[in-house]
Structure 1
């Protein structure tokens, strides 16, 4: 008697708890754990890395070198001989098709039992289905290490089905440890056996409108496709499902914001007026417009969530400070969170300088409308930290600036009304929610997140879709021009002129940055710094003849100090592995003009303001994204001296890497570069950069390719959430059923738990 029914019931019970006891072998269980899968719902959404698709059936007379083909032929002879230059056996099998055309199958075998096994199967007169890539050897066609299927002497209907099955695309899964593809395919066959127990995440009404299969069919199409059309239909479903889950998360956050209460920060009071009166420059029209939009939004009694995008030097800090002043005028506190201590301290210095006596509440020389500004970072004297904590708790400090240290449980605010996060891609949703929970009583503070790394619209919708986007355009004071050049390191003249030009600037009293992708020669990039500008597996027209190791901070520092002309200069290093106090001292010394050249990683990417720095040399520049290089370039030309940026690469003219850097050198618009980065690198790489601190992981979506699908999913998620809450009563869609709603709840929980670790694994 079959126990399929009982087993199916067991699977349903085990959806959230794991796999039914005894169903998976130990190897299959290990494979599932290696994929981060806790149940069949997780497993079915693990995409194959690729598909091994045999070539089409062909006649032997029409073969071309390099083609993937399949052929039905008969073994004519088998011959073995020892290899000449190494141990092992070369097995040569001659096959002939029904037209009399022949082909050699070649196996290079290093174990005797494999020779015996192949010869016992490939006997003279045996019919076989052979698949592989055609190559030429001594003027004849051959296939090395072909796949083959033994056929019966006489064709039959059963054989036709076997051949059809053998020619289907075979999923190739990512492997962990000692797990084999055989084990993986056995595991996924069990997934398909229980596909009927999977719950539908995308409501039926949406699937019907978007012409999507159900989860059961999509699972079969993904893991047991019959052709490429099956794969495409499966991927379309799973891409949409993923987009729908992400957009549903955002839709629920937005709905929660509407339901929550926030302090209305509507007062333009004495602090705001005094700040505007003493600004040393006129606000740009864009700063005024965006400032008015922020003021309007934070005056609402419900928490607003805004993304402020602005190119390098667009003046985001003053816009943020004006919003913080409005919060203080309204009787609340504001906090600015920065990703690094260096940047936090620089924001603190900028804000206190800009406010002047407006930041000296409690001092005799303070302005009557003054507040107190406090700094809170990890590496801080205990006495300073205690003072900051006390002032935040009793409300004496209206403005706080800090790093992740502001997120700890022992940091309490009296009346937190506004949270501003700089460089939002360095922080995750969880960080934003932690700060939002620090509001007074039941009130939730307003949230403004800023980035100088513009995010293309499709990526923003996919990754920060719970935020409304505002864009700062132009720059309040253009500063000096920055010229950019691509330097092929293999060209001695260009390389030498690059260093000579840097020396000329330093001798004229200016300073230089030298950026490397690694800290030490034997280590990988710091914090993901080795993100390639373009796909490094793509064809390279002019690769370096002798590839060199990537430049590292420590090695470059030693090399420069030993070079004639540089030996007398003050050269220091800066990277994330240095103690916080050392990093701070180095940046302060560089800003004070006490260091001529700072050899660094991308720790200097954002926020570092040294007006006297006029040279930026980026070594192995192809290892960085265009937007990241644009950020680095923004560290120079911030004063009165023109800036010079050198993007040095091992790849020569005509290579994809060199062309990408040339496009960067010719473009100064960060938003245009963000779109170009998305186009060149693909959405997958860009997602990795933007998401480095988020909890939203993607497996199937590509934010460039799937932009339209993301918009469709966003529309459906907003409508579905409104229907579920009863705030929308009429729509072409129907409200989700209780089971559909529960399935979406489970999918959101599963997706949120998967997180970035899973993104990196996949």
Structure 2
């Protein structure tokens, strides 16, 4: 035990075995380190009471209130007694702050001056019921300040807590039998993430026992002393005391400065070490070739590249022409021309005799890429040997395509996960382009290698704009390129929120508006969150897996679905004669391709689809998009969907349809989407609302893995400091041999389940 790190010791080595067992069962805490790292979620000022008006029905809460009366009565419906405790959120003396509520309350009671329940306004009192009548009536007295923990419910039209857990608050620091000092400042009261069976005061008691019985100086601090000094951080031992046993309001903030920096430093060291490994690797260089495919392609472009495309193109050209493997993230807003930039890189590799692969997450998107690349290359497509490989291809077509790949004849290869199979062999793979990278696991993205297992150049693309601080945290081992301007000819898309709850008659107008666009020779997308009405069954999740709108139902009783809505639209007189089709992710690949090809050729007037069309679908003639149940989708998804229209020089209109009224929880999100076309701004807003837990996760383990103390938006400065420090440390000491405690923390954290973060749009 003596050689075992303090943090690794079991809780039973310090706490009573029953307490240790309860912490394990209820909170999954096993070691001293687990409990020390179990931080309070908030702090209650001891001299203040919780405002009852802030309580909401159904929430689990911890409140501080003052006892006005305690009564006991026999229950009518069954044997036993019930204690009714009336409490208030008002202090005993409103003309001065209550510095020692427990002490003052007892003085009031002894003097007979405690206010009664009848003297309080109804909104300032609450009656709590206890079925353990004898215990509650014995423990609670008039004037006590008590922390009650439980679930807010309703009885006879009034909010209440039934049989809540309680803890009488006394003034800390007073010795047994000593009268507390009414003028002494009261420290904040930590409130821990708790469960109904293990409330916050029991957690606090376990933490207090731990703090009293161990020497926190024995804890392993991974932050080197020089960085403590540089950033004026408290020691780890002091940080633990500040966060668990604060003496003043600012103490937890001082502690969190250390814990946020520690987390950022460990993560950034992991990324810096990966970057150093990448720097040491070598691959084949594919420099530009004069008179080749790329030069011919550029000469034939009917438009001028944007300044951003030129800049990013040079960055990628230099990377691919180097023996150091390129690992670059290319992000840009909807319609910024990422695919064109990637194609130019693929042509550069093809010119030097190499092969380039573009991985797409769906067959719809892979087919779209093939069509658009063949279209823009024209006669060069055959010279470049453009092929596509998907799972739904016939066996004969697959054999032919695989033969062209293994021979090297196919120099530009487009496909889905089918390209990752063991039967796919490349002659000279030099570049892998991953489109919508968050749809691929880390192992999948690194399956494709060059000759003899050598690394290849990798270009990772995302159409979901990522705030710089997110990119720096999640993709710290990648170079980042940003396309932040739209090509000439892209038209503005006007976006409007349509509330059917406020204006039910507008539903008919939606389809009239669709008919007007169709009569002009244009096309319409209608997006819905589910495939069929049964998709609302929890066991049958909808394709709107990024929705945030809760369980709101449409007027029909279920969310709008592809099958249901397409059938209804076909029967509407206003759409009589219109060519209407449906598309969703469960269709066979050939059927999906038929429908998308028909939409691209103008053979379909109105397409009802799920979010399967979110990325990559190019229909220049589409001018109207109607998104039903838009409140079910995140802002980034809505922005991506909106980008499917206005692509062919025609102005577009996007209607965000919801059955929430103006007070609905999702209306601010929809209004934000309608107010701006800046995808980076929307991404930041989306992240603020959804928090990192929704976008930072493990790649394949299935376990939820998130940043614990850091917010990549709020703590960007801390992340930048840690990034610079980590790069300096790794440059001077790649193995961290001079920093063994940091090295140990990095080794423990650097396993795939915790550090292969992916951005989920």
Normalising by the smaller structure, the TM-score range is 0.7 to 0.9
Which residue of structure 2 aligns with residue 173 of structure 1? 193
Distance change in 2, residues 1:45/1:126 (3 Å): closer
* 1:662 alignment partner, one of 663, 671, 683: 671
Query: Which stretch has the larger CA shift, 416-425 or 404-413?
Result: 404-413
Q: Does the aligned pair in 2 maintain the 1:72–1:97 contact within 8 Å?
A: no
Aligned to 1:258: 279
User: 2:316 matched to which residue of 1?
Assistant: 294
1:91 partnered with 2:103: no
The alpha carbon displacement at 1:453 in A equals 1.7
**Pairing 1:120-199 to 2, within 5 Å after superposition:** 120-122=138-140, 128-131=144-147, 148-149=166-167, 157-158=175-176, 169-173=189-193, 198-199=219-220
Q: Out of 47, 52, 58, which is 1:56 matched to?
A: 47
Q: Following the alignment from structure 1 to structure 2, what is the Cα–Cα distance between the partners of residues 399 and 227?
A: 64
Aligned-partner SS, 2:707: coil
In structure 2, what is the equivalent of residue 248 of structure 1? 269
Name the counterpart of 1:731.
none
Is contact 1:56–1:70 with CA below 8 Å preserved after alignment? no
Distance 1:306 1:257 in 2: 12
1:43/1:635 CA distance change after superposition, 3 Å: farther
Give, in whole Å, the separation in 2 of the partners of 1:462 and 1:631.
23
What are the within-5 Å matches in structure 2 for residues 559-598 of structure 1? 559-566=568-575, 569-598=578-607
Matched, 1:460 2:454: no
1:532 aligns with 2:532: no
Matches within 5 A, 1:740-759: 740-749=741-750, 752-754=752-754
Is 1:487 the counterpart of 2:498? The answer is yes
Q: Is the 8 A contact 1:128 1:149 kept in 2?
A: no
Classify 1:298/1:696 alpha carbon distance in 2 versus 1 (closer, same or farther; 3 Å): farther
Matches within 5 A, 1:186-585: 198-222=219-243, 228-269=249-290, 270-360=292-382, 370-435=383-448, 438-441=449-452, 443-490=454-501, 491-521=503-533, 522-523=536-537, 526=542, 529-532=545-548, 550-566=559-575, 569-585=578-594
Would you say 1:117 and 2:135 are equivalent positions? yes
Q: Is the 8 A contact 2:11 2:20 kept in 1?
A: no
Alignment length (residue pairs): 710
CA–CA distance in 1 between the matches of 2:582 and 2:209?
55
Q: 1:382 to 1:232 in 2, by over 3 A?
A: farther
Q: Secondary structure at the match of 1:313?
A: coil
Inter-partner Cα distance in structure 1 for 2:362 and 2:488: 26
Unaligned runs of 5+ in 2: 56-61, 88-104, 118-124
Deviates more, 1:208-217 or 1:606-615: 208-217
Q: Is the 8 A contact 1:129 1:148 kept in 2?
A: no
In structure 1, what is the Cα distance between the partners aligned to 2:556 and 2:20?
Answer: 41
Following superposition, the deviation at residue 266 of structure 1 comes to 0.8
Partner Cα distance (1:686, 1:328) in 2: 39
Indicate the SS of the match to 2:310. Answer: helix
Q: Secondary structure at the match of 1:700?
A: coil
Cα contact 1:45–1:238 (8 A) shared by 2: no
With over 3 angstroms needed to count, the CA separation of the structure-2 counterparts of 1:199 and 1:229, relative to structure 1, is: same
Say if 1:181 and 1:409 are closer, same or farther in 2 by CA, change over 3 A: farther
Question: Are the counterparts in 2 of residues 335 and 399 from structure 1 also a CA contact under 8 Å?
Answer: yes
Q: Do the aligned partners of 1:513 and 1:599 also contact (CA within 8 Å) in 2?
A: yes
Give the 3 Å change call, closer, same or farther, for CA 185–547 of structure 1 in structure 2: farther
- Counterpart in the other structure of 1:706: 715
Q: Give the conservation status (yes or no) of the 8 Å contact 1:517–1:530.
A: no
CA drift of 1:596 comes to: 3.2
1:323 Cα deviation from its structure 2 partner: 0.8
Given candidates 78, 82, 86, the residue that maps to 2:71 is 78
In 2, distance between residues paired with 1:478 and 1:101? Answer: 75
Q: Cα gap change, 1:64/1:30 in structure 2, threshold over 3 Å: closer, same or farther?
A: closer
1:616 alignment counterpart? 625
Change (3 A) 1:518 1:301: same
Q: Deviations over 1:82-129 (max 9, x none)?
A: 589x99965334797423123458665475xx123323445xx78844
Q: 2:653 — aligned with what? A: 644
For 1:26 and 1:373, the matched residues in 2 are separated by: 67
Structure-2 change in CA distance of 1:696 and 1:721 (3 Å): farther
Closer, same or farther: CA 693–94 of 1 in aligned 2, 3 Å:
closer
Alignment partner, residue 367 of structure 1: none
Distance 1:681 1:547 in 2: 29
User: What is the alpha-carbon distance in structure 2 between the residues aligned to residue 241 and residue 706 of structure 1?
Assistant: 13
CA contact (8 A) 1:392 1:413 kept: yes
Q: Identify unmatched segments of 5+ residues in structure 1.
A: 1-5, 361-369, 538-542, 727-734
CA distance in 1, matches of 2:484, 2:316: 15
8 Å Cα contact 1:11-1:20 kept in structure 2: no
Deviation at 1:259, TM superposition (A): 0.6
